[in-house]
């Protein structure tokens, strides 16, 4: 483990972010923990070199996206290029560590970009631990069409993030969400998809019918959502590549909502309303034979699978108020896991399996929080007039959710926060937005 990695692990461990043991301080520590706030790790990202003139604009933009990805985590701080002493003029030349040490850069990211006559980009990068004077891992190169330059930049940043934190990356991912417009009593809603950072927005439905709560398939190619296009809430499944959708199954006569895929993508679990009572059902895709999982006079909704597919967490008001329960995937006696004050809803199992994110209402406020799968170690990450609907980044370290402001002019906005409650930030979208669902890491 390099000193840089050790430093960050120390910071993460102090925040309860990692199960790694706290290591004794040695080597050049540069992260200072004060009142639970870590000092972000300083890095330098000198402009990636353009190997040919036509690559210059891409090289500049890719450098900016890599730096923005890293700085956006709150774990890293970019040292502006104006403060750099050294200049990188050759991607393969030895690095003058002293010059980077002098400006206190702990990590150095260098890169080069070539644009072929076929329109394909080739992007190389290297990562250096400045204070130990060594490369961190081997250099890597990514190739792809120039239209994918942002994705290539995200892949570079994912590599840097992973090598320094020891966690999986999450930058090369997408978010499907509900784009909102119009007044509060006549809100127009349509499905949209974008990169995790708000770039490359594409609309997937028009706004002729209310649409709610999209959810990705595990392969990221399909989206389940609830649509009112029949006049009644019904689950539909949309193929992203062809932007076509169809009803999940012929479940006539009922309202169906709150769908979610199983981890293997073969089953959908969802809520069905009949005669005022809402219960959970599972449907194997390709069949028209739903299996009833709960049978209670209370509301059972918002189901989410454990990543190993063996259990389901959901919300129920069987105790009198909304609370969280876990049951075996085939149904059976649920175990209540939420016992704090207030009401708990919209549980979502982390892709790492360790935590369950939820919405909590208490004393007139809404919170996004996380707890262990057995309900222990509850911590609230946010508080506002109305926060709801968490979704996990592919690495299980960051949560995105909907924050709605109060009043006649209130509107919804996407926010993200890490699982320590740090780095709360608005996700940029063109207009109002709600109900985010984070994709898996793209291949």
Nearer to another protein, 185 or 264 (CB): 185
Place of tokens 């050790």: 6
Number of residues in contact with another protein under rule CB under 8 A: 43
Nearer to another protein, 306 or 321 (CB): 321
Nearer to another protein, 106 or 301 (CB): 301
Single residue of 94, 276, 286, 443 touching another protein by CB under 8 A: 276
Q: State which of positions 419-438 bind another protein (CB under 8 A).
A: 435
CB of 250 to another protein, least distance (A): 17
Listed in sequence order, the residues at least 6 apart from 409 whose beta carbon sits closer than 8 Å to its beta carbon are 184
CA quadruple 414, 343, 276, 285: dihedral sign = positive
Listed in sequence order, the residues at least 6 apart from 26 whose beta carbon sits closer than 8 Å to its beta carbon are 3, 6
CB of 375 to another protein, least distance (A): 18
Pairing of strands 311-316, 300-305: antiparallel
Single residue of 275, 286, 363, 443 touching another protein by CB under 8 A: 275
- CB-hemisphere CA count at 13 Å for 183? 3
Listed in sequence order, the residues at least 6 apart from 173 whose beta carbon sits closer than 8 Å to its beta carbon are 154, 195, 196, 393, 394, 438, 439, 440, 441, 442
Listed in sequence order, the residues at least 6 apart from 35 whose beta carbon sits closer than 8 Å to its beta carbon are none
Q: State which of positions 374-413 bind another protein (CB under 8 A).
A: 385-386, 388-389, 404, 406-408, 410
Place of tokens 């599972």: 282
Nearer to another protein, 89 or 186 (CB): 186
CB of 258 to another protein, least distance (A): 4
Nearer to another protein, 62 or 412 (CB): 412
Q: Is 301 in the site for another protein (CB under 8 A)?
A: yes
Single residue of 106, 217, 262, 322 touching another protein by CB under 8 A: 322
Q: Is 3 in the site for another protein (CB under 8 A)?
A: no
CB of 349 to another protein, least distance (A): 16
Nearer to another protein, 212 or 383 (CB): 212
Q: Are 107 and 7 in contact (CB under 8 A)?
A: no
For the record, the structure tokens of 246 come out as 């169809």
CA angle (418, 423, 426) in 5-degree steps? 100
For the record, the structure tokens of 213 come out as 């709560």
Single residue of 61, 162, 361, 411 touching another protein by CB under 8 A: 361
Q: Is 213 in the site for another protein (CB under 8 A)?
A: yes
Q: Is 315 in the site for another protein (CB under 8 A)?
A: yes
Single residue of 142, 161, 171, 257 touching another protein by CB under 8 A: 257
Q: What is the dihedral of CA 179, 415, 402, 155, to 10 degrees?
A: 60
Q: What is the dihedral of CA 282, 286, 289, 295, to 10 degrees?
A: 10
Place of tokens 């008001």: 317
Q: State which of positions 151-190 bind another protein (CB under 8 A).
A: 183-187, 189
Q: Is 123 in the site for another protein (CB under 8 A)?
A: no
**46-54, 79-87, 116-124, 297-305 -> range binding another protein (CB under 8 A):** 297-305
Q: Is 231 in the site for another protein (CB under 8 A)?
A: yes
Q: Are 23 and 12 in contact (CB under 8 A)?
A: no
Residue 280: helix, strand or coil by DSSP?
A: strand
Q: Is 302 in the site for another protein (CB under 8 A)?
A: yes
CA separation for the pair 340, 377 (Å, rounded)? 11
CB of 299 to another protein, least distance (A): 4
Which residues are at the interface with another protein (CB under 8 A)? Answer: 183-187, 189, 210, 212-213, 228, 231-233, 255, 257-258, 271, 273, 275-278, 299, 301-302, 315, 317, 321-322, 345-346, 359, 361, 385-386, 388-389, 404, 406-408, 410, 435
């Amino acid at each position: 483990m390099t000193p840089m990695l050790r430093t960050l692990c120390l910071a993460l461990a102090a925040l309860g972010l990692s199960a790694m043991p706290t290591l004794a301080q040695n080597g050049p520590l540069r992260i200072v923990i004060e009142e639970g706030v870590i000092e972000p790790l300083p890095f330098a990202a000198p402009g990636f070199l353009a190997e040919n003139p036509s690559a210059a604009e891409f090289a500049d933009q890719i450098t900016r996206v890599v730096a923005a990805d890293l700085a956006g985590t709150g774990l890293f701080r970019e040292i502006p290029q104006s403060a750099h002493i050294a200049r990188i003029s050759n991607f393969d030349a030895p690095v003058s560590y002293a010059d980077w040490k002098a400006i206190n850069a702990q990590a150095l990211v260098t890169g080069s970009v070539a644009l072929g006559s076929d329109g394909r980009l080739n992007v190389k990068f290297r990562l250096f631990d400045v204070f130990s004077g060594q490369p961190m891992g081997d250099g890597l190169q990514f190739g792809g069409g120039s239209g994918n330059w942002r994705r290539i930049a995200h892949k570079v940043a994912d590599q840097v993030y992973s090598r320094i934190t020891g966690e999986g990356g999450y930058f090369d991912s997408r978010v499907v969400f509900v784009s909102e417009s119009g007044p509060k009593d006549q809100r127009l809603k349509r499905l949209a998809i974008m990169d995790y950072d708000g770039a490359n927005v594409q609309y997937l439905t028009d706004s002729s019918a209310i649409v709610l709560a999209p959810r990705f398939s595990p392969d990221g190619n399909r989206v389940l959502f609830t649509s009112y296009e029949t006049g009644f809430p019904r689950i539909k499944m949309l193929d992203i590549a062809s932007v076509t959708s169809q009803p999940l199954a012929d479940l006539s006569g009922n309202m169906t909502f709150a769908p979610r895929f199983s981890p293997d993508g073969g089953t959908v679990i969802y809520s069905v309303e009949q005669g005022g009572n809402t219960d959970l059902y599972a449907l194997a895709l390709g069949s028209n034979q739903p299996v009833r999982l709960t049978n209670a006079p209370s509301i059972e909704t918002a189901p989410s699978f454990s990543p190993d597919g063996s259990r389901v967490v959901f919300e129920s008001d069987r105790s009198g108020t909304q609370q969280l329960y876990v049951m075996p995937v085939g149904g059976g006696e649920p175990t209540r896991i939420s016992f704090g004050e207030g009401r708990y809803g919209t549980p979502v199992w982390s892709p790492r399996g360790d935590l369950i994110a939820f919405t909590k209402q208490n004393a007139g406020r809404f919170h996004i929080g996380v707890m262990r799968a057995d309900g222990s170690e509850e911590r609230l990450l946010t508080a506002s007039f109305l926060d709801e609907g968490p979704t996990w980044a592919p690495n299980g370290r960051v949560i995105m959710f909907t924050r709605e402001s109060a009043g006649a002019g209130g509107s919804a906005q996407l926010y993200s926060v890490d699982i320590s409650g740090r780095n709360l930030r608005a996700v940029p979208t063109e207009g109002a937005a709600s109900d985010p669902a984070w994709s898996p890491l793209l291949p």
